[in-house]
Amino acid sequence: MLNHFGHQHWWPINEQYHEIHGSDPRFEIIIGAILTQNTAWSNVEKALERLREHHALTAESIAHLTLRTLKNLIQPSGFFNQKAQRLKTISSHLLQEYQANLTFFFSRDAPTIRRELLDLNGIGPETADSILLYAGDKPAFVIDAYTRRISRRLPLTASTESYDELQGFFVETLQKRYPKDQLVPVYQELHALMVELAKNYCRATPRCDQCPLTRSCKKVL
């Protein structure tokens, strides 16, 4: 997939990104992970841009905005009533418990942070793992609708697997193949590549959970 699609460079965390956007990319990733819940990324970009224009890409600002203003800002990303509340919840949590210091927040092991995130209303397993992997550089493999679709149609696992079971399959397989210090970049790249693969060759159609992958899709694999 890497040969076919090239690097996906999702959420690059580097100095350059920080300079250009003037906000902590880790916080943007946290916000983006919530805004993209069952939503096209193009819509999330519109919402992020509006937040950036209003200097509302920090935990402090979001925690202090009125709910009404926040809903208006993120309106293009859909589900804005629930998502505005969810952004408030995570921002207030980071502010009150960690003084909005993300280095402090991420300075613990992944399972601890994961449990803490799952306790917040509006953060489920995928959102938690996306935050851990792409904002925290923590080894948390992300399972999403695309990953699940490909896994079912190959098939890689039984079709009744839970989130944790499917994640376990990927983690065990990858841990055997890569040294520990390579897992984070491998998780980041592989997840992004599977999304790209599914977008190109494995789009959702009604009652298509068992339909075979196309030949061109298998060729890439």
Residues that bind DNA (CB under 7 A): 10-11, 32-33, 36-43, 46, 75-76, 78-83, 120-128, 130, 134, 142, 144-146, 160, 195, 199, 203-206
Distance of closest approach, residue 30 Cβ to DNA, in angstroms:
11
**Identity of the residue, 99 or 214, whose beta carbon is nearer to DNA in the bound complex:** 214
- Distance between alpha carbon 17 and the CA centroid of its chain, in Å? 18
**Identity of the residue, 146 or 170, whose beta carbon is nearer to DNA in the bound complex:** 146
Distance of closest approach, residue 60 Cβ to DNA, in angstroms:
23
Residues 6 or more apart whose CB falls under 8 angstroms from that of 60 comprise 91, 95, 100
**Identity of the residue, 56 or 70, whose beta carbon is nearer to DNA in the bound complex:** 70
Distance of closest approach, residue 176 Cβ to DNA, in angstroms:
25
Distance of closest approach, residue 58 Cβ to DNA, in angstroms:
20
Q: Are 193 and 142 in contact (CB under 8 A)?
A: no
Q: Are 135 and 123 in contact (CB under 8 A)?
A: no
Please give the DSSP secondary-structure letter assigned to residue 212. P
Collect contacts of 7-16 with beta carbons under 8 A, ≥24 apart.
7/189, 8/189, 8/192, 8/193, 8/195, 8/196, 10/134, 10/188, 10/192, 11/134, 11/135, 13/135, 13/137
**Identity of the residue, 95 or 120, whose beta carbon is nearer to DNA in the bound complex:** 120
Distance of closest approach, residue 155 Cβ to DNA, in angstroms:
17
Please give the DSSP secondary-structure letter assigned to residue 96. H
**Identity of the residue, 59 or 117, whose beta carbon is nearer to DNA in the bound complex:** 117
